[in-house]
């Protein structure tokens, strides 16, 4: 059943039927109702691609996740999807309310930089705008094409050295809150299990950790910082390294909940009590932080809000003729539970 069939059935022009189905004010209300009812009875469904061509837009937004560099596919890790899921949920909620479709794709750095996936997608005209989720500290010069094309584009989870709007979490603030909390409990030897060296979230949390130490009158020491890979096993192994130091830490801040759970498991295996002997703090406030015993003190990130605001900002760029560039930084919240206690 085509729009021509509906027009012929009603004795109207194809243009009038099209305007009526699209809610145009140029069509009388009675006519619009007749057309809508006839379309329902005839089981007419608008052709998505034809509608897209007639409107000059796709009503589709691309959400591209930069899922790793080379053979390091971070997006396949359970901890990564606990991070991505609320972001995607926030994006979908905002786009659905505006009747936009979502195209989700995970690409590697090589695909983005060397194969020009982003640039080619923009040139194809299949999307009205794009959200780009990044995690690694890399050269994002390939996005200069986005800036030059004035294509609606928003970066999530980082502010890149480009004139592109962004929404991110203030990781430094979250890490500083952890250090202040532990220092207030009397801890002076605080270890840190960081994420990967080149991960943006890990870098910012590590910087925040060092800043927090300075703010409470402590000095960062290299042996108290170990680099993990976000997984439980690395939290376990690196906690063994920290506890083997001549003066082991009385508290350990892990850059995510998975590694914090590994730290708790390691301390238990060593016969130590958490938080009686060693306090442990995570980051993310995932469901796992609630089910581990003791319940994990952690940092809650407003990830869903980041996705929501990112989509909202992108729609603004689509709707406005000359949108200004904006940068939003969201403050995380320290959630104090059972895995931290005073050191005496």
pTM for this one?
Answer: 0.81
Q: Would you state the torsion angle of the CA atoms of residues 75, 79, 81, 83, taken in this order, to the nearest 10 degrees?
A: -110
Give the pLDDT confidence score for residue 49 in this predicted structure: 46
**Long-range contacts formed by 35-40: CB under 8 A, 24+ apart:** 35/6, 35/10, 38/6, 38/9, 38/10, 39/6
Run of H or E residues at 40:
helix 29-41
Q: How far is CA 149 from the centre of its chain?
A: 24
Tokens of 47: 């052709």
What digits encode the pLDDT tens for the residues 253-263? 999 999 999 99
Residues of the chain with confidence (pLDDT) below 70: 46-57, 68-76
Structure tokens at 55: 């409107």
Per-residue model confidence (pLDDT) at position 80: 76
Residue range 48-106, pLDDT digits in tens: 445 554 555 678 999 999 876 655 556 667 777 788 899 999 999 999 998 899 999 88
**Composition of the chain by helix, strand, coil, percent to 5:** 45, 15, 35
Pairing of strands 327-330, 298-300: unpaired
| Domains, in order of start, for the chain | 3-46 (1.10.260.40), 60-168+303-331 (3.40.50.2300), 171-301 (3.40.50.2300)
How far apart CA 109 and CA 116 sit, in angstroms, is: 10
């Amino acid at each position: 059943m085509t729009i021509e069939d509906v027009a012929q059935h009603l004795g109207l022009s194809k243009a009038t039927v099209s305007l009526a189905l699209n809610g145009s004010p140029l069509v009388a209300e009675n006519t619009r109702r007749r057309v809508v009812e006839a379309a329902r009875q005839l089981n007419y469904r608008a052709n998505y691609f034809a509608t897209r061509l007639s409107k000059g837009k796709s009503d589709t937004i691309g959400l591209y996740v930069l899922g790793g560099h080379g053979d390091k596919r971070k997006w396949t890790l359970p901890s990564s999807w606990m991070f991505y899921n609320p972001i995607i949920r926030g994006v979908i909620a905002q786009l659905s309310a505006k009747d936009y479709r979502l195209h989700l794709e995970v690409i590697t750095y090589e695909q983005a930089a060397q194969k020009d996936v982003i640039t080619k997608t923009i040139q194809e005209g299949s999307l009205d705008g794009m959200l780009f989720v990044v995690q690694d500290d890399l050269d994002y010069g390939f996005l200069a094409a986005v800036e030059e094309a004035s294509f609606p584009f928003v970066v999530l989870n980082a502010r890149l050295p480009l004139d592109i709007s962004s929404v991110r979490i203030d990781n430094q603030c979250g890490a500083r809150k952890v250090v202040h909390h532990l220092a207030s409990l009397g801890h002076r030897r605080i270890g840190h299990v960081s994420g990967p060296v080149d991960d943006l979230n890990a870098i910012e949390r590590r910087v925040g950790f060092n800043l927090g130490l300075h703010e409470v009158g402590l000095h960062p020491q290299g042996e108290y910082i170990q680099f993990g890979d976000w997984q439980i096993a690395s939290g376990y192994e690196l906690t063994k390294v920290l506890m083997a130091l001549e003066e082991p830490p009385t508290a350990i801040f892990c850059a995510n909940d998975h590694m914090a759970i590994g730290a708790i498991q390691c301390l238990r295996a060593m016969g130590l009590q958490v938080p009686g002997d060693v306090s442990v703090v995570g980051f993310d406030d995932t469901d796992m932080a609630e089910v581990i015993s003791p319940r994990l003190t952690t940092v809650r990130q407003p990830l869903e809000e980041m996705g929501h605001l990112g989509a909202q900002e992108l729609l603004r760029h689509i709707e406005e003729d000359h949108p200004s560039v904006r940068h939003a930084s969201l403050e995380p919240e320290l959630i104090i539970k059972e895995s931290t206690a005073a050191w005496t």
